[in-house]
Structure 1
Amino acid sequence: MSAAGTARRAIVVGGGIGGLASAVALTHKGWDVTVLERAPQFQEIGAGVTLFPNAIRALDYLGFESKLFVGQGMRAGGLRSNTGRWLMRQEVSQSDVAPVHRAYLHDILRSAVPGESLIADSRVTAVTLTGEVEYCKDGETRTVHGDLIVAADGISSGIRAQHWPELPPPQYVGVTAWRAIAEVRNPHDFGLTQTWAPGAELGIVPLIDGRIYWYAALLAPQGERFADNHAYVLERFGAWHDPIPELVAATEPGALLHHDLFHASRQPKTLVRGKIVLLGDAAHAIPPFLGQGACQALEDAATLGAYIDTRDGLDRYDRVRRERAHAVAKATRMTGRMGIFVRNPALAVARNAIVRATPGNIARRAMDRVTRWEVPAT
């Protein structure tokens, strides 16, 4: 408790997955939490998100039992070439991953935060190291004070730009990507599959509600756009193995999202300055080559909750999360170099041969090093 017996107050800037998860964690610890979201409503417009074991452990810590993510069983999946040849096959179960729609995850997090704590359509204009937050709402400038400011305002974080000016802005990865949910309800033997071709890849992720999340990615110049994204993706990936052409064709054109991918080219030397703590993409934005963006934001939130009431809690959060983020970012870069960044056809053939010759348990252990994470003991 702070002076005069009042509850400690946290201001969370950003109402995405990381911001809401941190709000849940702090609320559970007795903090009075306010979440400021710039968008007119608290909602998620993305496609799918794969919750790996580390994310599920974080969600369990936050009070969401794994049963929330149990749906239909996963089928055999693995890695293929664009001709359909299997490079690596693995059985994938719900204990390994829980793929869900981002909106579903966002909704259950939001439902655990008191409604009066959520303030949408509020644009933060300034934050001080001493805990003052200035924001605009309904044409009026308002100021609130927090004992803790959680900067969960995304990859283009204004708070990071203001108080970590030594960091460069997000850098283009060199990859453009399309994402969508197909309402096909598993008419085929869809499994959690990633397919490689030189300078391109496509992933199929069956969601626990029966729909199919898929993404396609290409090496491309930044800002390149297409008059008809659906037609372009169908043409570019239409000759790949089944069921990819049918899956793309079955997707409503209006459901297809197209974005260039960015990342933080430099990690901050500290995640904490004054009363401000960086969290999620504001702290350590990474490309999606390992599917760890949302997972790392959930780890951040759980770790913040675990340490916030301990002696030197923010220092512990800072040290543990910087070390962890560095390791995951390094593994993500290595995955990209082995995958989509192999653009030479001859090198791709050699790469595929190496992958086919690699025992599946070795590849699984490599992924386990990323996803084998536990909420810190205090």
Structure 2
Amino acid sequence: MGRAVVVGAGLGGLASAIALRRAGWEVTVLERRDPPAAAGAGMALWPNALRALDALGVGAAARDAGTVEIGGGIRTASGRWLAHVDAADLRRRQGDAVVVLPRPDLYALLLAAGPPVRAGAGVTRVEPGDAATTAVVHDDAGGRHPAELVVAADGLRSAVREALRPESTVRDTGQTAFRLVADHALDAGGESWGRGEYVGLGPLPGGRTYAYAVAPSAEVPAGDPLPWLRARFAGWHDPIPAVLDAVVGPVLVHPLADLTPPRSWHHGRVALLGDAAHAMTPNLGQGAAQAFLDAVALAAEATTDPASLAAYEARRRPAAEAVARRSRTAGAVAAWRSPLAVAVRNGLTAALPAGAASAALDHLLGTPLTEETAA
């Protein structure tokens, strides 16, 4: 193979660098941050993410670094169960359960498994190239990086995408997410819905809990969010108040946004990947999983002929964008505020047969035989 330059050393960028090097590419990774690092609290790896990590050679290490969720589902703010996820049945159908681990730990695994990252190398311009000419990536230190393939993995606000596909824009959801780790052992994970806000919990190694909360951005005060979170969710079911009382480390605050789809995922020798191609809200827990699947597919399809990038896009775009649409819808439904809408939402969720819920989840995740999620 030829030379590949990966722009961005987030989870998707590191995954693509690993996959391309395993496929025989000479890979350079450019990252504007110095040192590169992944801020984050925790993350849940669903079976499709674990299968992709297996293809990258780090699946076993990711499983060892995390905690297997023993059960979960959806509850109301009072604690009434609306739906259950049977972890044993999920494992039977998918070959894996859900693994929850600290996001920085997963980042460290990928960083160690890939080629060296050139930190402090922000990209200023990309010449996309074509079938007759190589691409050239220019960094802010004056460096030039010729390549037969450029992977734009520089996130939701990708500078490469904005230059090449300006029609694709960031969409604010009007919601803000709070992510944190607590020194609290958890018996079961899952998500709880209120009116306009929701909370999720997952077990981390060492008797800790990963938690997230989402609330309307217009209601979020300035300053330290923790006292406000404790007051807002004080009347919710156990163990949510106890988890918020046991927070260790910072509370990470992020306005939630996704992306209007670009006309194409590739231009010349440049391929978009992960959030740069299909940034999605976190409601289905699929952002990183879809980036990992992109990385595996790109390494399988890309050659030194830029026309090969059409096969990558055809393989991944329908599924990834379908997941992004479903995730945005799921987030909007979870954040409904009207008492009537909330009652209808909760009633329909509780009435959904277990078999239908399992089928919908399998449709989202794909299967061990198909690897791709269904569109």
TM-score normalised by the chain length of structure 1: 0.89
Shift of 1:33: 0.5
For residues 229 and 162 of structure 2, what CA distance do their matches in structure 1 show?
35
Give the equivalent residue in structure 2 for 1:178.
Answer: 178
- Picking from 223, 226, 246, the partner of 2:222 is 226
Alignment of 1:314-325 (within 5 A): 314-325=309-320
Give the equivalent residue in structure 2 for 1:121.
Answer: 120
Alignment of 1:138-217 (within 5 A): 140-168=141-169, 170-184=170-184, 186=185, 188-189=186-187, 191-208=188-205, 210-217=207-214
Give the AA of the match of 1:273.
Answer: H
Give the equivalent residue in structure 2 for 1:134.
Answer: 138
Alignment of 1:192-341 (within 5 A): 192-208=189-205, 210-221=207-218, 224-252=220-248, 254-264=249-259, 266-309=260-303, 312-340=307-335
| Same amino acid, percent of matched pairs | 38
Shift of 1:227: 2.2
For residues 267 and 9 of structure 1, what CA distance do their matches in structure 2 show?
28
For residues 346 and 104 of structure 2, what CA distance do their matches in structure 1 show?
35
For residues 269 and 73 of structure 1, what CA distance do their matches in structure 2 show?
39
Which segment drifts farther, 73-82 or 196-205?
A: 73-82
After superposition, the Cα gap between the structure-2 partners of 1:174 and 1:15, relative to the gap in structure 1 and judged at 3 Å, is same
Q: Is the 2:68–2:100 Cα contact (8 Å) retained in structure 1?
A: no
Give unpaired runs (5+ residues) of structure 1: 2-7
For residues 371 and 362 of structure 2, what CA distance do their matches in structure 1 show?
16
Q: Is the 1:303–1:375 Cα contact (8 Å) retained in structure 2?
A: no
What do you get for the CA RMSD once the two structures are aligned?
Answer: 1.9
After superposition, the Cα gap between the structure-2 partners of 1:209 and 1:15, relative to the gap in structure 1 and judged at 3 Å, is farther
TM-score normalised by the chain length of structure 2: 0.90
Shift of 1:163: 0.8
Q: Which string of whole-angstrom CA distances, capped at 9 and with x for unpartnered residues, describes residues 56-106 of structure 1?
A: 111111112436414554323211100111111232257221112111111
For residues 67 and 105 of structure 1, what CA distance do their matches in structure 2 show?
9
Give the AA of the match of 1:201.
Answer: Y
Shift of 1:113: 1.5
Q: Is the 1:98–1:208 Cα contact (8 Å) retained in structure 2?
A: no
- Picking from 43, 46, 50, the partner of 2:37 is 43
For residues 63 and 52 of structure 1, what CA distance do their matches in structure 2 show?
17
Q: Is the 1:306–1:375 Cα contact (8 Å) retained in structure 2?
A: no
Give unpaired runs (5+ residues) of structure 2: 130-134
After superposition, the Cα gap between the structure-2 partners of 1:72 and 1:228, relative to the gap in structure 1 and judged at 3 Å, is closer
Give the count of matched residue pairs: 357
For residues 206 and 300 of structure 2, what CA distance do their matches in structure 1 show?
31
Give the equivalent residue in structure 1 for 2:12.
Answer: 18
Shift of 1:333: 2.8
Alignment of 1:70-85 (within 5 A): 70=64, 72-85=67-80
Give the equivalent residue in structure 2 for 1:4.
Answer: none
